[in-house]
């Protein structure tokens, strides 16, 4: 495991910490794989009854995927492979039989927002900034399955508004939308509340919780997901994606062409 993903344990409660605060907890591919490994293990873990995921430092849950990951992208296969692997990792979290709680302090964007969205419960600080500002940054896209997940969570109209305007949802709006269940004032209060909630859940019948999770996942899946390979490939190989990447790294406004 890398130095940037660590775990803490209190009895039957496992806390996963995204620990790269100097980079706003931006996630590398290796960090995603560490998270995948932890959730692969949880699929067969009979001792863990609740999982908390949080970011270190109090400023961010995770500010998306580290932009340097995308510098080598130039072929359709690379964008498709990235989105497919992301879906596999998010599915591991989603299908984990143990209830998951995302404790979100501050910024939660891109891949970080995707991780938080597939957790069962979300708590946040009032200064939450949640979203996918890709329409003004990289010019890539979300996969069909991630759009479906978000739409099921906060509704398709709000998903369109969030992505089309590239704005980030604040704490009060996220609470009103049902994205988060509770708001607290500080990262310290967030840690305390997440731990209390995890202890409460850990004391309940694990089979009831696991079966409820799985049946709700099956119900959501029954609606079906559209084909997306052609459109994902189009975005990740576009001139606009390259322009978005280079302008982001150069800290200048992108010059979009629609190609």
Residues 167-205 pLDDT 10s: 999 999 999 999 999 999 999 999 999 999 999 999 999
Q: Taking each helix axis from N to C terminus, what angle separates 239-250 and 229-236, rounded to the nearest 10 degrees? A: 50
How far apart (Å, rounded) are the C-alpha atoms in residues 167 and 50? 32
For 5-202, CATH gives: 3.90.226.10
Q: Taking each helix axis from N to C terminus, what angle separates 229-236 and 76-94, rounded to the nearest 10 degrees? A: 120
**What pTM does this model have?**
0.92
- What's the gap between Cα 203 and its chain centre? 26
> How much is the average pLDDT of 122-139?
97
pLDDT band at 227 (very low <50, low <70, confident <90, very high): confident
Residues 26-54 pLDDT 10s: 999 999 999 999 999 999 999 999 999 99
Domains of the chain, residue spans: 5-202
């Amino acid at each position: 495991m890398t130095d940037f993903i660590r775990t803490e344990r209190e009895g039957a409660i496992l806390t996963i910490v995204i620990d790269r605060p100097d980079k706003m907890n931006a996630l590398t591919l290796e960090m995603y794989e560490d998270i995948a490994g932890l959730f692969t293990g949880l699929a067969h873990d009979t001792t863990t009854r609740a999982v908390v995921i949080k970011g270190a430092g109090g400023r961010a849950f995770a500010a998306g995927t580290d932009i340097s990951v995308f510098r080598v992208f130039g072929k359709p296969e690379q964008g498709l492979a990235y989105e497919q692997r992301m879906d596999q990792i998010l599915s591991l979290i989603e299908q984990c039989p143990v209830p998951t709680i995302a404790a979100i302090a501050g910024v939660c964007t891109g891949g970080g927002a995707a991780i938080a969205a597939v957790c069962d419960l979300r708590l946040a600080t009032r200064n939450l900034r949640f979203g996918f500002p890709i329409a003004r940054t990289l010019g890539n896209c979300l996969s069909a399955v991630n759009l479906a997940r978000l739409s099921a969570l906060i509704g398709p109209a709000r998903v369109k508004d969030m992505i089309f305007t590239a704005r980030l949802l604040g704490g009060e709006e996220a609470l009103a939308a049902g994205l988060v269940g509770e708001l607290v004032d500080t990262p310290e209060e967030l840690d305390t509340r997440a731990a209390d909630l995890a202890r409460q859940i850990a004391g309940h019948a694990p089979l009831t919780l696991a079966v409820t999770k799985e049946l709700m996942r099956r119900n959501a899946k029954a609606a079906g997901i559209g084909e997306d390979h052609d459109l994902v490939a189009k975005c990740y190989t576009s001139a606009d994606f390259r322009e978005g990447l280079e302008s982001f790294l150069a800290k200048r406004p992108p010059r979009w062409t629609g190609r």
